[in-house]
Amino acid sequence: MSWQSRKNNVLPGFTPALGYTIFYLSLIVLIPLSALFFKTATLTWDGFVAAVAAPRVLASYRVTFGASLAAAVVNAFFGVLVAWVLVRYRFFGKKLIDALVDLPFALPTAVAGITLTSIYTQNGWLGRYFEPHGIKVAFTPLGIAIAMIFIGLPFVVRTVQPVLEELDKEIEEAASCLGANRWQIFRRVIFPTMLPAILTGFALAFARAVGEYGSIIFIAGNMPMVSEITPLLIITKLEQYDYAGATAIATAMLVVSFLMLLCINLLQKWSRRFAE
């Protein structure tokens, strides 16, 4: 069926366009990524396991995944709230705020990193209020989670926002006519419609946080076993010329990224089916 429609297509340039696409994709993305797997394949199984399951590495997974999960949960909650407010309410400066939501995409991660650190250190704008209560944010896993909340902030907002915009007001009116109160309408009508988008945004924010490096290393403190993230460990190994160790950990991370990508694709398919 699909080949049939291509034969009926009179537009020129399909073969060179697809050819160049595959050529450039292979050159820039596929061949370099495969280098990682070939390099990993030269390791012995025991060597691989020793590299990816060393205590310091395991601790870094705990820090990275734990903080990413916490950040994604916070972003899921506040992302829905922000999307809701941006779609449903009218207030002064709404357009400006809507545009600003994408700031974490546009602001280079190193800038975000040093700025967040300066805010949350003990003399910082916010840190000075936490310090007397014995709460340390900068240079602890809490700081890592804060940086991850910042970089993941736009994902849930931007996936939920279009769904809320398309949500038919009539459905809510129908539920209202049938005697549902506002909370019931939200819980039984609006929330289930948003759910696939929330989960997609959650997964995107989580995946981004797991791989994030620039905004975190400044605020993390980078204490081995306590506040050291996995991407930093890769760099540390590289600086010690331990290419095998760096490659093994990178492969483990890449496999997790691929699994996340698969989840996100399935979630997006689900939400599309939901929309129809």
Partner 1 sequence: MQGTKNQKNSGTVSEPAWVRYLLLTAALAFLALFLLLPLAAVFAQALDKGWEAYLAALKEPDTLSAVRLTLITAAVCVPLNLFFGIVASWAIAKFSFPGKSFLITLIDLPFSVSPVVSGLIYVLIFGLQGWLGPWLQAHDIKIIFAVPGIILATVFVTFPFIARELIPLMESQGREEEEAALTLGASGLQTFFRVTFPNIKWGILYGVILCNARAMGEFGAVSVVSGHVRGSTNTIPLQVEILYNEYSYAAAFAVASLLALLALVTLAVKTVAEWKMNQTIPVTDTER
Q: What distance in Å separates the CA atoms of residue 30 and residue 36, rounded to the nearest whole number?
A: 10
- The reply on whether position 180 binds partner 1 by CB under 8 A is yes
Q: Which stretch binds partner 1 (CB under 8 A): 55-63, 159-167, 191-199, 243-251?
A: 243-251
Residues 6 or more apart whose CB falls under 8 angstroms from that of 19 comprise none
- The reply on whether position 181 binds partner 1 by CB under 8 A is yes
The residue within the footprint of partner 1, chosen from 49, 58, 85, 225 (CB under 8 A), is 85
Length of the chain: 276
The residue within the footprint of partner 1, chosen from 41, 53, 58, 99 (CB under 8 A), is 99
SS3 at position 89: coil
Q: 96 vs 92, 99, 115, CA distance in Å?
A: 9, 5, 22
CB of 38 to partner 1, least distance (A): 8
The residue within the footprint of partner 1, chosen from 205, 248, 253, 267 (CB under 8 A), is 253
Q: Which stretch binds partner 1 (CB under 8 A): 48-56, 137-145, 194-202, 249-257?
A: 249-257
Residue 54 structure tokens = 């060393």
Residue 138 structure tokens = 């900068």
- The reply on whether position 246 binds partner 1 by CB under 8 A is yes
Q: Which is nearer to partner 1, 135 or 261 (CB)?
A: 261
Of 27-46, binders to partner 1 (CB under 8 A) are 28-33, 35-36, 39
Of 46-65, binders to partner 1 (CB under 8 A) are none
The residue within the footprint of partner 1, chosen from 65, 167, 211, 274 (CB under 8 A), is 211
The residue within the footprint of partner 1, chosen from 67, 76, 112, 137 (CB under 8 A), is 112
Q: Do the beta carbons of residue 137 and residue 223 sit within 8 Å?
A: no
Q: Name the helix (H) or strand (E) containing 117.
A: helix 109-120
Q: Do the beta carbons of residue 4 and residue 222 sit within 8 Å?
A: no
> Positive or negative, the Cα torsion across 214, 220, 221, 227?
negative
- The reply on whether position 222 binds partner 1 by CB under 8 A is no
CB of 139 to partner 1, least distance (A): 14
Q: What distance in Å separates the CA atoms of residue 145 and residue 24, rounded to the nearest whole number?
A: 36
- The reply on whether position 234 binds partner 1 by CB under 8 A is yes
Of 125-154, binders to partner 1 (CB under 8 A) are 125-126, 149-150, 153
Of 88, 235, 218, 234, which is closest to residue 150 (Cα–Cα)? 218
The residue within the footprint of partner 1, chosen from 44, 46, 55, 90 (CB under 8 A), is 90
